[in-house]
Structure 1
């Protein structure tokens, strides 16, 4: 059993705590949160010892790994304090707010040699693994992806999601998953252009993000991709479509399926997508237990490339607004 501590008890932190509670291979030995009221709720809910001091938690609970679910701007201190004690680090996305910040964290991880993982859970999907093997050695020319959600339509959703300075908006909260998975399957991106708008939810003092955007991306290998994203859709829809003269496949990340045709032959694959968070945490725990980082599918060093795409996308959307003809 691997001893794990958690820092940050917001939505994602509590989600991981709920997941690990039902994982026999993990023992949660401590949780850290600066907000005492929030901490008390987590302590009572998950029956775990709570700390308001991160260093005290690391020293007293003696975890083998730490799950970091805090805003990205405070990651450097948290990673350094853990890694220099030989404690392995699972870091939620986005890995950082800038490439400079990310490189500082990567330098710590490289110097200390601890196992590290970033929370890009789609890489652990059985449907993704199936698709990755299916497209190996086959030509892909065009990709169409879409992630449609209704966060902006939910009156009780936490308002900080809609503060671009804090959340980064849909690019950093959600679309970065598509960028990461697309890189994982197709290779590195070369260029990103795009447009944004707020046709459903206008921008205001408490809503500074775009509610919808569209991106065009070109890969170094020539593949072209169009990505459509919105927070103003009254349902949930996440798909990536792969097109060429050799195949036409649809990866549905909500239903965990792959459908379509490869060289004229019909394809149909279905998996259980409800366990992705468990799969990524199980891989992290197994990597620690067996001292084998190869179980981790998304290292921090690799995640910096996905961050770079998100930063390019964000810059492209801002540029499109400035270039609008009045």
Structure 2
């Protein structure tokens, strides 16, 4: 038998393919009543500056019209006048300079008026002054430039080498390299863990009050999750970024976008038996895959790199529970349609519209009618940043409010699952179109 390339379906290399029993719902959680809206939080007390380095000057760091992400905004509210962004690292110097100029026209000028722009980490290190020594790095670069052991794509390792003990916040997914590089991501995770580096990964939906209420219901009733069912339907008309439509650049919609719901599924279901992942896709060249309102010219993308319109996957968790996820590129307009259902004996927990106005439907034993809980003022982006900073500051007034819910290693396991789904869908497509052997 000939050799083959490493596969996300292999499982054992990451430790997630074994059949050990697991406590599916026993993951870090926070009392939902402790997650306080941003406008109700006082700045972290203190007179010393809190030096931060932003790596990346794009939308995730400074916001856009496409969504609620904007890390700088949350840092400003959490740290107040203590915030000092000592450096902004981005090869697009003009863009970085422009966003800083806008910040300096506002009431948060003191955080940015002395920020220096650098093209790369090496340039920052060479020009670092003692007073600008950072307490934290926020990594919001495109994922293809991080999450590996390779020079130029190993920003986490370089930061730990030159700034040991400095905290990291890393955006998701942790990488979008070829599937054969997944093992490297786990090596990065091992280095982070063994160094004791405080690290949080941006799976912000774990910090939703609704999600934490779901965890609370499961834990307080000692429930075992039986099934997770997730659906992510995006409004493709609003996606005008050509790279998103190109698998060779974005790694495809499951890895780049559906990762949040694969992560939430794991958060409730536990570890996945990777050998059980099965998936099917509707591709761009099938009749039902035609889209009428795309904002990009897909003919400029090589046929083999065009993304599927629908991906549907199922798997088994190590606990025996079943997982299901469907990602759909079908809606027009602006709003997405996303839901996650979790089932346990006597219980149905259904999370609706988590990105904008989360609503939780709860059906319990003894009553066929659902309780409905709404969370109009929730901001999981702020909660994840707030928890991370509280850990850096070693605030221990209430340890239950300060649990980082997504470690780098945990994020690697979500990344492996998304690659397993993509590989399984491509395998089923190849089988469908394979010619019979002579």
The alignment's TM-score, normalised by the length of structure 2, stands at 0.68
Partner secondary structure for residue 114 of structure 1: coil
Q: Check the 8 A contact 2:228/2:269 in 1, yes or no.
A: no
Partner secondary structure for residue 389 of structure 2: helix
State yes or no: 1:242 paired with 2:342.
yes
- Residue correspondences, number: 324
Who is 2:121 aligned against? 54
Who is 1:69 aligned against? 140
What are the within-5 Å matches in structure 2 for residues 170-319 of structure 1?
170-190=253-273, 191-197=276-282, 198=284, 199-201=289-291, 204-206=299-301, 208-234=306-332, 235-252=335-352, 253-254=354-355, 255-265=357-367, 266-272=370-376, 274-290=378-394, 295-319=403-427
Range with bigger deviation, 158-167 or 73-82: 73-82
State yes or no: 1:79 paired with 2:148.
no
Aligned-pair CA distance for 1:134: 0.8
Pick aligned residue for 1:20 from 68, 71, 75: 75
Which protein shows a greater Rg? 2
Q: Check the 8 A contact 1:193/1:216 in 2, yes or no.
A: yes
Q: 1:321 and 1:204 mapped to 2: Cα distance?
A: 21
Partner secondary structure for residue 169 of structure 2: strand
Q: 1:239 and 1:256 mapped to 2: Cα distance?
A: 10
Q: Check the 8 A contact 1:18/1:46 in 2, yes or no.
A: no
Partner secondary structure for residue 79 of structure 2: coil
1:46–1:185 Cα change, 3 Å: same
State yes or no: 1:6 paired with 2:54.
yes
What are the within-5 Å matches in structure 2 for residues 105-124 of structure 1?
105-124=188-207
Q: 2:167 and 2:380 mapped to 1: Cα distance?
A: 20
Q: Check the 8 A contact 1:283/1:296 in 2, yes or no.
A: yes
Q: Check the 8 A contact 2:190/2:409 in 1, yes or no.
A: no
Q: Check the 8 A contact 2:223/2:345 in 1, yes or no.
A: no
Aligned-pair CA distance for 1:127: 0.6
Q: 1:133 and 1:126 mapped to 2: Cα distance?
A: 10
Aligned-pair CA distance for 1:150: 1.2
- Structure number with higher relative contact order (C-alpha < 8 Å, ≥ 6 residues apart): 2
Aligned-pair CA distance for 1:323: 1.3
1:325–1:167 Cα change, 3 Å: closer
Aligned-pair CA distance for 1:244: 4.5
Q: Check the 8 A contact 1:106/1:301 in 2, yes or no.
A: yes
Q: 2:344 and 2:214 mapped to 1: Cα distance?
A: 15
Q: Check the 8 A contact 1:162/1:209 in 2, yes or no.
A: yes
Residues 217-275 of structure 1, C-alpha deviations (whole Å, 9 max, x = no match): 22111222221212321231111112354112211224322113111344332224651
Who is 2:213 aligned against? 130
Who is 2:174 aligned against? 95
Q: 1:62 and 1:173 mapped to 2: Cα distance?
A: 33
1:23–1:221 Cα change, 3 Å: same
How big is the alpha-carbon RMSD for the aligned residues of Structure 1 and Structure 2? 2.4
Question: Which of the two has greater helix per residue?
Answer: 1
Question: Which of the two has greater strand per residue?
Answer: 1
Q: 1:132 and 1:325 mapped to 2: Cα distance?
A: 43
The alignment's TM-score, normalised by the length of structure 1, stands at 0.90
